[in-house]
Chains A and B, each alone.
Chain A
């Protein structure tokens, strides 16, 4: 609360940086441009640290901003972030800085445009996490496609044109579904009878108990929607409305309209096929942002919109086939298939002689995001806490792995597994960092992924032991291919003479790997501060989706279990 318009500052700062580079730097001054851009990303990260003042005891949306924008359709410029968004914003600003620093040598042409686009991408993604108005959210969500398209298309690998257009169109298909669902949802907010049915208890729950500012904003939005007949795009208002939309074909259709938009972004099997192509062709920094942040837009969408907007559909297990299974089962089955399929596909790229390491990491992302989805649809505090924490953790370790792959690619200009072997002899530092990150990915205790996978699995187990069982199979496969990969790349003798003179990590590379290592260890050893941020919002969502579920916010269960291990 100390800094006014904090979220707007964080969001628009990168855009301002892009404008500065565009107009104040001449094309030839690559060195100055990359230093300025990186410093600017660092500045944005420092500013975003102010978000740590988020009041964890209250929860709900904080740092609220509200400004008139298009009154005729009820769209307002509203910003706000809950604990989950705060963590994701911090992750984004950190990874943005890392992505910029990692591109200094990788990017060798058209540097000015590159850093401008990277900054614009950062601004649009931050806007997605900061928006408290669905219309605003959708604008940022869509606009983020354009810079990413250019990043893949201009600085990508061999098949960059194909990968870029595939990424662009594939995501657009999802966005179109999201758009239609969004329009319909907006029209529902014009329905006076529905609005009147929202209970004060629901409003208090959505806004966060004790969060007066958010409650005032919510009430204001609802009142305005009811008075003018224009409806509202306020996310909290729509969440509150979600509790009174009757279960039926409309709720289910709306759920899937939103779900298609986010599932493609996540990506869940069978909508994942754009991801390996995009990752393989994207430059390292593009992959870092793509895996670390853009995929989170999908899971964040599920967390922020699908669950609270359509609580009855989210929990439903009887809608299809005469009560045999429901919407929730569909999502869980897709999540489990994603986990196992992603792991198996990743394993294929170790077994294959010239398997691409980047492709492997890409498929491991599919698997990891499956765990997030499973945790979300466990619909209990443990599952959701685990899912949200896993979003952060995946952002840390997949970004690190892509950076590591990028480092070796800069030196050898290949990513095929069979080109390497015995790297630990020539690059001990690199091997150590890679090991730490591979162990993180596997879920070794004391490293961050263990906590989140454990919580998500426990949540899944509470919901249905079979779900946890299938997911565990995927996690074992994960360990399998990671260890196998490490063995093939780093152990044994150097059998390829080209690898004999490879340089170990440089100072700049250490500089951007260190924060990720520290974060991995920190969350792994002492996750409480992070879980504190997300616990209240998560408990509110569980309560919203399952009003009868025994959630006791006063006695937090999740951190305790985590600490006990």
Chain B
């Protein structure tokens, strides 16, 4: 409806362009990166990578400049483009997470692509375009915008997963990811169309009250209750989103895609793409479907419980490090869902802090695996880490930190994230007086012990025993080393002094609590 109005008057208010300045910067830089690939001689392709790093930094500066009021706690939400773009604390914090993930990914990619012999500028352009998609996903407030940005992100990822075209595993992974991804996008779109049918609008702000009314069967259409329709929409949206975040039972693509994709892309897929999907999931479930929390909370609870279990127990038997981390990433999707289920301040803070920490520790872990990739050595088996504690003590120590943090040991950031996720659920259980929240949190907590079993396997391989997997030095470059050190430092920093991070995450909580309807 807003768009119809738009055609009669001015197309949009030019002042709104300011709201998407970071996205514009990033899109332009991505185009420049494409041109650079054509203009620069092949041996200078790495410069495109450094350019992409600069682009991410520039975009981050612009996000912070735009969102400083939200970050510093005096939250002011701005809607633009006829309500289709919403810049609030939620969007700002998530955009920063995406840019962080993108920058770290580029940093760990530079050397890897050399080793693979695939150093081309278009790779960096694709990473930037995917980031643009993610950023619109965080600030989109309209089903159409959300869907288009989701597809922008997904399409670039289909290409990135199959990027090493001479590698058969990569091709297979790209194809699988594309087929299943397209299928799930279809389901998601179907759910969106049902929402449009109920609310007669694509704007989340209109959909929220309409769904709340329809879910409580107060509203009828031609003598028929609308409730079945919104429930069906909820299930369809849920199915599509569960695929994107790799939650059970829609997780089957993840191990294959993660194992086959180039390792930096796996890292980006498991952090940036996952964070973006969670941003979408939070927007849809908390804002569009906020009125039917009673219906979706048990559904998400069940999915989270099963996801945590399947991810952790399946990871136990894996020998390939990338595949193992894929299952770990599945289980972590389950943990992150706890924050959405809790849907209170603690839960939101947990969701965001855990996503930030997860970005650091997961890219860090994949970065170590990248350092193990040398000419002639794939380096992605757990066994390839054997004796790393003797050969490269610094790298081994950082890997140990990432693994302990993934498990959630105190003093690492993973613990702080889990603390808030579990705490949010316990608070919700006390507020609603329902015992299943307690069972869920106990189940999730118990499964962290299982997860330690396989995380510790990395540590065991690195430190225990006197054998070394091979004598060749690791393939490290300055950007990779810097990225690893930064990841480890932040994982420890968030674990020891989380105060500023919790505070920033509070911006998200504030945005969701004020934007979401009828949460309580």
Binding site for B on A (CB under 8 A): 69-73, 109, 138-139, 142-143, 145-146, 149-150, 153-154, 160-161, 164-165, 168-169, 172-173, 176-177, 179-180, 183-184, 186-187
Contact = CB atoms under 8 A, between A and B. Distances in A.
A179 B463 contact: no
Given A154-B463, A161-B464, A169-B453, A176 B446 contact: yes
B136 to A, nearest CB: 31
A187 B499 CA distance: 18
Contacts, number: 74
| Top-3 shortest CB links A-B | A139-B410, A142-B410, A176-B445
B179 interface: no
Interface string B451-490: 0110010001001101000000000000000000000000
Given A146-B409, A172-B448, 17 more contacts: A69-B499, A73-B502, A142-B410, A143-B410, A146-B404, A149-B456, A153-B463, A161-B464, A165-B456, A169-B449, A169-B452, A169-B453, A173-B449, A180-B422, A180-B445, A183-B422, A183-B426
B182 interface: no
Contact of B460 (A69, A109, A145, A161): A161
A74 to B, nearest CB: 11
Q: Is the interface of B mostly helix, strand, loop or mixed?
A: helix
A180 B442 contact: yes
A161 B419 CA distance: 29
Contacts of A169: 449, 452-453
Contacts of B426: 180, 183-184, 187
B513 interface: no
Given A153-B464, A187-B426, A187-B427, A139 B453 contact: no
Interface string B416-451: 000100110011001000000000011001101100
B391 interface: no
B498 to A, nearest CB: 6
Nearest to A176: B445
Given A71-B499, A153-B463, A176 B449 contact: yes
B452 A168 contact: yes
B445 A179 contact: yes
Contact of A179 (B422, B453, B466): B422
14 contacts: A73-B502, A109-B466, A138-B410, A142-B411, A150-B464, A168-B452, A169-B449, A169-B452, A173-B446, A176-B448, A179-B445, A180-B422, A183-B419, A187-B426
B169 interface: no
Contacts of B452: 168-169, 172
Contacts of A139: 410-411
Interface residues of B, number: 30
B183 interface: no
A185 B320 CA distance: 41
B460 A143 contact: no
B441 A180 contact: yes
B456 A143 contact: no
A71 B497 CA distance: 10
Nearest to A139: B410
B503 interface: yes
A138 B445 CA distance: 15
B502 A143 contact: no
Nearest to B349: A72
Given A72-B503, A176-B446, A179-B445, A150 B422 contact: no
B399 to A, nearest CB: 14
A143 B423 contact: no
Contacts of B427: 187
B502 A72 contact: yes
A138 B449 CA distance: 16
A143 B449 CA distance: 15
Contacts of B415: 142
A168 B404 CA distance: 12
Contact of A143 (B409, B422, B448, B503): B409
Nearest to A173: B449
A71 B503 CA distance: 10
Contacts of A165: 453, 456, 460
A451 B452 CA distance: 42
B455 to A, nearest CB: 11
A145 B456 CA distance: 12
A158 to B, nearest CB: 13
Interface in B368-426: 404, 409-411, 415, 419, 422-423, 426
Given A138-B410, A173-B449, A176-B449, A187 B463 contact: no
A412 to B, nearest CB: 24
Interface in B226-259: none
Contact of A187 (B404, B411, B430, B498): B430
Contacts of A179: 419, 422, 445
Contacts of B441: 180
A162 to B, nearest CB: 11
A369 to B, nearest CB: 23
Contacts of B430: 187
Given A146-B409, A183-B419, A72 B499 contact: yes
A165 B452 CA distance: 9
Contacts of A70: 497-499, 502
B46 to A, nearest CB: 34
A295 B460 CA distance: 24
Contact of A150 (B409, B463, B499): B463
Contacts of B502: 70, 72-73
Most buried by A among B442, B449, B453: B449
Contacts of B464: 150, 153-154, 160-161, 164
A168 B451 CA distance: 12
A172 B453 CA distance: 10
Tell me which of A160, A168, A179, A186 has the highest count of chain B C-beta atoms within 10 A of its own C-beta: A179
A137 to B, nearest CB: 10
B287 to A, nearest CB: 25
Given A154-B463, A183-B423, A143 B445 contact: no
A166 to B, nearest CB: 10
B82 to A, nearest CB: 37
A153 B460 contact: yes
Nearest to A155: B464
Nearest to B503: A72
Contacts of B411: 139, 142-143
B408 to A, nearest CB: 9
A47 B404 CA distance: 32
Nearest to A136: B410
Contacts of B446: 173, 176
Contacts of B445: 176-177, 179-180
A444 to B, nearest CB: 42
Central interface residue in A109, A164, A184, by most chain B CB within 10 Å: A184
A173 B422 CA distance: 16
Given A154-B464, A176-B449, A187-B427, A168 B456 contact: yes
A432 to B, nearest CB: 38
Nearest to B446: A176
A180 B424 CA distance: 11
Contacts of A72: 499, 502-503, 506
A143, A173, A183: residue with the most chain B Cβ atoms closer than 10 Å: A183
B44 to A, nearest CB: 39
Q: Which of A69, A72, A173 lies at the interface centre, i.e. has the most chain B CB atoms within 10 A of its CB?
A: A72
Max chain B Cβ within 10 angstroms of own Cβ: one of A73, A153, A169: A73
Contact of B423 (A146, A153, A177, A187): A187
B353 to A, nearest CB: 11
A150 B442 CA distance: 28
B312 to A, nearest CB: 12
Interface in B91-136: none
A517 to B, nearest CB: 36
A146 to B, nearest CB: 7
Contacts of A164: 464
A149 B452 CA distance: 12
Most buried by B among A69, A109, A164, A176: A176
